Structure 1
Amino acid sequence: MGLADVVVDPAALETVAVETARALAEGSLKGKRKGKGLLQKVLEDTSMGRSIVYGQTEKMVAKNTGGHYPAPTAILDTIKYGFTHSKPQALEYEATRFAELAATSVSAALRGIFTGTTALKQSKYGKPANPVETVAVVGAGLMGAGIAQVTAEKGYRVLLKDKDLAGVSRGEKYISDNLKGKMKKKRMTKYAYDTTTSRVVGLTDESANWGKQFGKADMVIEAVFEDLSLKHKVIQQLEEHLPPHAVFASNTSAIPIARIAEASRRPENVIGMHYFSPVPQMPLLEIIPHKGTSNAAAAAAFEVGKKQGKTVIFVKDVPGFYVNRCLGPYLVETGALMEAGVPLEQLDKAIKAYGFPVGPITLADEVGVDVAAHVQAFLSKADLGVRMGGSDGPILDALLKAKLLGRKAGKGFYTYPAGGKKEKGPKTLNPEATSLVQKYVKGESKLTDEEVQNRLVSRFVNEAVFALQDGVIASPVEGDIGAVFGIGFPPFLGGPFRLIDAMGAGKYCSMLEGFAGKYGEQFAPAPLLVEHAKSGKKFHQ
């Protein structure tokens, strides 16, 4: 492409840069300017050619932004204006457009995300008492292998343990394939690949020395199946070998950490570290101390999460924590809408059009229908009460019984190519799934996309306000960051709390009250939202 003239080793970068700058200043080195080809001249130097470029760019911008981000369009307009006006006029136009963009709600939302993530980089627990050098990961499935990968990439020695060799091998292959993908895209060198994979030590229950290896671990991250008795068994088995200072972190997605810690001889070392799937791509990490967790354990968890490149939020130890707690009512409402006859395609398309990366049907397939069903069932029995009302989840249960578990099984609501390959073109609905769904449909839906969007999103947003009210999250900042980075809440909206501020608490409250009157008390607005509606107070001042 001609973007770089010299490629140097990082260690020599400063020296070469200074020498190059000096040579350019002295005139002994001339900048290289590649001549334009005929096609480039036509496209760049003629009004007709530029019109073609503008047209194609406008289409690309519309496709990539969905019309939600005004800046790319404003940039293109500014470039077009500059070609047909004088430099002073063009600069004035650019300044005007910049000022307009800076005053938009999208700008406020994106700046809020930036300042929020910056603020969250500071630990309130200080430095860990014992530096973490070796991290053991128990469970080599997709979550465990993903955690092992991001940990090894940052220089930690990793012990990856599963019950048998087949499980460990799958985990190691997952890591290797991901890193090879990075090499193919020139995001990783062969040397970095070799050093990263060499840091991962595979172990099984049959490994003669696994206990001795775990005796050197400073932290364990447990990523086994969501079964409390299994987690108790794991913690009891491992504590026979772990050093006294070792932190035991559970990657549970919903089980309260205090209940897991009941089986520990050192409960002060137990903490929750909830990652999101796929771990290498998802930037959020929820850290959940229980009431007895020590500051040293919390500090160690934060240090590891930050070094892994995650944005960390601390969350109260309640069922579902924060993101999944908000996701529960959203999943229930998805079921209610399916039962009301809203087509699966409409559910996905409406939520994507709203600004989410995927719709609720695709989300269930991606996280796993079994996981979605488990979270919904677990939270339905927890402390959310009527807020989990609207549907008993028969459709997810039916797919679970039919073993239509989503992408990992090759089919769920949609069908997927064999071998974990990405599909070419739009996904195809699974006839088995649509047939099962029809058994529970109670009528033909005439709901608009807007009502589908508002019913689904408001269930998530209202639960986020309950979470703030109940102290699950410390502030609206954590709530917004958690939603954007944990589930892909539209960044241009800034998160659930900035959405309410932009719309107005009174207006949002009225919408929920309207839904509550029409569909049930599961939509009743959180008392804190009602309070803000009455006072006119905003969540972000």
Structure 2
Amino acid sequence: MTVHYDLYGEVALIRLDNPPMNGLSLAIRQAAVKALEQARQDPEVRAVVLMGAARVFSSGADIKEFGSPLAFQGPNLSQLIAMVERSPKPVVAALGGVAMGGGLELALGCHYRIATPDCSLALPEVKLGLVPGAGGTQRLPRALGVEPALNLVVSGDAVKAEQLAAIPGQRLFDRLAAGAETLRDEAIALARAGADAQAAGQPLPRLRDLPCSHPRADGYFHFARTLVKGKAGPLPAPVKAVDLVETATRSPFDEGMAIEFQSFRLLMESPESAALRHAFLAERAASRIADMPPGIRPRDVQSVAVVGAGTMGCGIAISLLQAGLPVTLLETKQEALDRGLASIRQHFETELRKGRLKPGQLDERLALLRGSLDYADLAQADLAIEAVFEDMGVKESVFRQLDAVMKPGAILASNTSTLDLDRIAAFTQRPQDVVGLHFFSPAHLMKLLEVVRGVQTSHEVLATAMALGKRIRKTCVVSGVCDGFIGNRMLDPYLRQAAFLLEEGCSPAEVDRAMEKFGFPMGPFRMSDMAGNDIGWYIRQRHRLERPEIRHSAVADRLCELGRFGQKTGAGWYDYVAGRRDAIPSPVVQQLIEQHRQAIGIVPRRVPEQEIVQRLLLALVNEGARILEQGIAARASDIDLVYLTGYGFPAWRGGPMHYADQLGLFEVAETMRQFAQAPNGDAVFWQPAEWLQRLVAAGGRFNG
């Protein structure tokens, strides 16, 4: 972590070097200030070029400093940018790779800017519950125009420099470089030209001095604010971003800067931003495996076999094909294979029709796909992923056949969502090469991939699984072996508690409404109907044999005995009309619930919405604590990431363990004890996990 200072004749080249993305940490800011001062005092230096090492300008502020004094400790980012802007010698920003957040704001403070055409620019602060805090909302509208700038600030999305350079009248770039190889030299030439212009009497150009207006400001900002409010939901940052861009059109520059900085500080203290920043850091942390020896290299995966051409198998195949990997899809019957191949083709044809694929890409992806009915055709695959029915006998048959035909060094992966991976590995002569790859349905859309590490899974195989997940653009979280791994293990008590709420007086719609109001896209009963109630029924039947001590409500079994398996049968916890997915409250289900209450002797009561939410969430939290205690998850943030990316937990709440930290763990444990003591309370269910009790005693947090 440093800043390099070099002289190229009369131009000082200052390079930010903080791998991997040149984050603007306090140490980098301090070193940059020192380098700028050195250039200012050197009479031989006429101009400065500011660029990043390793062809990356800067991804912005160091998010690890957010929420700590380091974020604002001098020189803070605004002070660094002000120093650049006030420089008596021209400063050129040479932008390559990425210029995002504070990195883009730093570039906006320079007098001149040059970028490679493929450089990605963004102000992504809204994705962390923030707004730009170092002039982004005040300088960018002056550089690009109000409407393009507002789109960038509110969306947080990255745009290539060549697209922004095409905006009529833009002042963001003085020129585009030919490419990364020539960026430095072209930037130095631009700096010399700037110094010559200054010597000829031209003032240094500053974005702050440009006018900023919109011809129909009142109507435009009213429209923008209404639109953004509808999309932002409970998040305050996007709407505040609209306010700040409007401020740029109505207030003097320095006044707008002060308002922006104050807004940034207030949002940084908000629970929504804390949760979104936690999620961002959780995703980074999840890729780190504590006991991975240095020097372990992933195996080369050039071809993959997928066993099972059902919905899950096809979704996995699509994910692999999208990453350019050849796939052999295996089935036992021609009809099932034909159906799977046709489903995959239909998916890509739909993508082409919607403009998400270029014409040539359809043929390229389908050329990578072949079907087979013979395990021998998988012999040369580097990896096989089993995606068959969730039954141990079926898994055993598949893995014994894979083990017999696949080459030495090939990896055998199971998509099991609940079964014991170590038992599956024991069906082979290569348990060290067996790993779990638990995709979530639909596999080509869902971001989460649970990478399940068996007792004998080798470090090399684990590293390969993580690398594959990254290649197919999944968020990978490592889990140990247990019933349901991280996500589904926690889902079990969540769904059991939801069923107990029906016994006590709730309707499915009341429970779902409470959780959807909290922020889930679906409550537990709508989710079960979508996934298929027969899946949960099968798991409960297995649990009664393997774990008879667990208490279940019989009401869900009664539902399945009626054949109400959810959307696929047109009836589940709700009724459904063909061709639509609207969940219609069912009088049949209400009658079933009432009869069940009478059979077990419960007089229904009105359950407050807050109790519904807390019972379901704390059921997740307590099981999460047990998972940490048993070492199934490496860290609490991994659990949060599983629920944020795989189960619809609202991002602005940060995940169940973060939510518990925000409540306070003493309060969490006390609330559990109150639930245990309530009429019909389950003392065993609500016993706080030992891990939770230890944290309470130490005054700690899950995410320390």
Give the TM-score normalised by structure 1. Answer: 0.84
User: Aligned pair in 2 of structure 1 residues 216, 512: CA closer, same or farther (>3 Å)?
Assistant: same
Which protein has the larger Cα radius of gyration, Structure 1 or Structure 2?
2
> One-letter code of the match for 2:426?
E
Q: Distance in 1 between matches of 2:532 and 2:615?
A: 23
Which whole-Å deviations, capped at 9, do the CAs of 1:50-77 have from their partners, x for residues lacking one?
57426633xx52x44442x221232233
Q: Distance in 1 between matches of 2:516 and 2:422?
A: 37
Figure out how many residues of one structure are paired with residues of the other and give that number. 500
Equivalences for 1:83-98 in 2 at 5 Å? 83-98=249-264
Match for residue 35 of structure 1?
A: none
Q: Distance in 1 between matches of 2:312 and 2:357?
A: 22
Query: Does 2:294 align with 1:143?
Result: no
> One-letter code of the match for 2:692?
L
Greater displacement, 507-516 / 398-407: 398-407
Q: Distance in 2 between matches of 1:289 and 1:501?
A: 28
Match for residue 139 of structure 2?
A: none
Among 397, 400, 408, the residue aligned to 2:560: 400
Match for residue 115 of structure 1?
A: 281
Which whole-Å deviations, capped at 9, do the CAs of 1:77-106 have from their partners, x for residues lacking one?
334544543332222111101111112222
Match for residue 682 of structure 2?
A: 520
Relative contact order, higher structure (CA 8 A, sep 6+): 1
Which whole-Å deviations, capped at 9, do the CAs of 1:297-355 have from their partners, x for residues lacking one?
22322222221111111111111111111000001011111222312211111101111
Query: Does 2:229 align with 1:53?
Result: no
Contact 1:404 1:433 in 2 (8 A): no
Q: Secondary structure at the match of 1:224?
A: coil
Equivalences for 1:369-518 in 2 at 5 Å? 369-379=533-543, 388-389=550-551, 391-392=552-553, 394-416=554-576, 418=578, 423=581, 426-430=582-586, 432-441=588-597, 442-518=602-678
Query: Does 2:368 align with 1:199?
Result: yes
Match for residue 50 of structure 2?
A: none
Among 398, 419, 431, the residue aligned to 1:255: 419
Contact 2:507 2:590 in 1 (8 A): no
User: Aligned pair in 2 of structure 1 residues 311, 75: CA closer, same or farther (>3 Å)?
Assistant: same
Equivalences for 1:6-405 in 2 at 5 Å? 15=178, 45=215, 49-50=219-220, 52-53=222-223, 56-57=226-227, 61=229, 63-67=230-234, 69-122=235-288, 124=292, 127=296, 130-204=299-373, 210-379=374-543, 388-389=550-551, 391-392=552-553, 394-405=554-565
Q: Secondary structure at the match of 1:239?
A: helix
Q: Distance in 2 between matches of 1:200 and 1:157?
A: 6
Match for residue 32 of structure 1?
A: none
Q: Distance in 1 between matches of 2:585 and 2:239?
A: 34
User: Aligned pair in 2 of structure 1 residues 398, 167: CA closer, same or farther (>3 Å)?
Assistant: farther
Match for residue 96 of structure 2?
A: none
Give the superposition deviation at 1:152.
Answer: 1.3
User: Aligned pair in 2 of structure 1 residues 395, 168: CA closer, same or farther (>3 Å)?
Assistant: farther
Give the superposition deviation at 1:137.
Answer: 0.8
Greater displacement, 374-383 / 496-505: 374-383
Contact 1:136 1:219 in 2 (8 A): yes
Contact 2:493 2:620 in 1 (8 A): yes
> One-letter code of the match for 1:104?
S
Greater displacement, 146-155 / 168-177: 168-177
Contact 2:304 2:327 in 1 (8 A): yes
User: Aligned pair in 2 of structure 1 residues 535, 373: CA closer, same or farther (>3 Å)?
Assistant: same
Identity of aligned residues (%): 29
Q: Secondary structure at the match of 2:405?
A: coil
Which whole-Å deviations, capped at 9, do the CAs of 1:152-178 have from their partners, x for residues lacking one?
111111111122122122222332333
Contact 1:113 1:481 in 2 (8 A): yes
Which whole-Å deviations, capped at 9, do the CAs of 1:25-49 have from their partners, x for residues lacking one?
99xxxxxxxxxxxxxxxxx645763
Q: Distance in 2 between matches of 1:375 and 1:443?
A: 29
- Poorly superposed stretches of 4+, deviation over 6 Å: 1-7, 16-19
User: Aligned pair in 2 of structure 1 residues 133, 102: CA closer, same or farther (>3 Å)?
Assistant: same
Which whole-Å deviations, capped at 9, do the CAs of 1:221-267 have from their partners, x for residues lacking one?
11111111111111122322211222111111111111112322222
Match for residue 702 of structure 2?
A: 539
Which whole-Å deviations, capped at 9, do the CAs of 1:133-168 have from their partners, x for residues lacking one?
121111111111111110111111111112212212
Contact 2:225 2:239 in 1 (8 A): no
Q: Secondary structure at the match of 1:285?
A: strand
Q: Distance in 2 between matches of 1:439 and 1:83?
A: 65
Q: Secondary structure at the match of 2:404?
A: coil
> One-letter code of the match for 1:253?
S
Match for residue 102 of structure 2?
A: none
Greater displacement, 457-466 / 341-350: 341-350
Q: Distance in 2 between matches of 1:254 and 1:431?
A: 33
Give the superposition deviation at 1:380.
Answer: 5.5
Which whole-Å deviations, capped at 9, do the CAs of 1:440-478 have from their partners, x for residues lacking one?
244444112111111111101111111101111011121
Q: Would you tell me which structure has more helix in proportion to its own residues?
A: 1
Alignment gaps of 5+ in structure 1: 8-12, 27-43, 205-209
Greater displacement, 359-368 / 113-122: 113-122
Give the superposition deviation at 1:512.
Answer: 1.1
C-alpha RMSD of the superposition: 3.0
Greater displacement, 185-194 / 314-323: 185-194
Q: Distance in 2 between matches of 1:382 and 1:89?
A: 67
Q: Distance in 2 between matches of 1:132 and 1:55?
A: 48
Q: Distance in 1 between matches of 2:165 and 2:517?
A: 42
Q: Distance in 2 between matches of 1:411 and 1:6?
A: 53
Q: Distance in 2 between matches of 1:444 and 1:141?
A: 42
Contact 1:271 1:298 in 2 (8 A): yes
Which whole-Å deviations, capped at 9, do the CAs of 1:259-304 have from their partners, x for residues lacking one?
1123222222222111111111211111112212222322322222
Q: Secondary structure at the match of 2:257?
A: helix
Match for residue 36 of structure 1?
A: none
User: Aligned pair in 2 of structure 1 residues 525, 117: CA closer, same or farther (>3 Å)?
Assistant: same
Q: Distance in 1 between matches of 2:458 and 2:496?
A: 36
Q: Distance in 2 between matches of 1:171 and 1:473?
A: 34
Contact 2:286 2:478 in 1 (8 A): no
Q: Distance in 2 between matches of 1:64 and 1:335?
A: 32
Q: Distance in 1 between matches of 2:216 and 2:322?
A: 49
> One-letter code of the match for 1:53?
F
Q: Distance in 2 between matches of 1:349 and 1:438?
A: 20
Q: Distance in 1 between matches of 2:609 and 2:330?
A: 46
Give the superposition deviation at 1:395.
Answer: 2.9
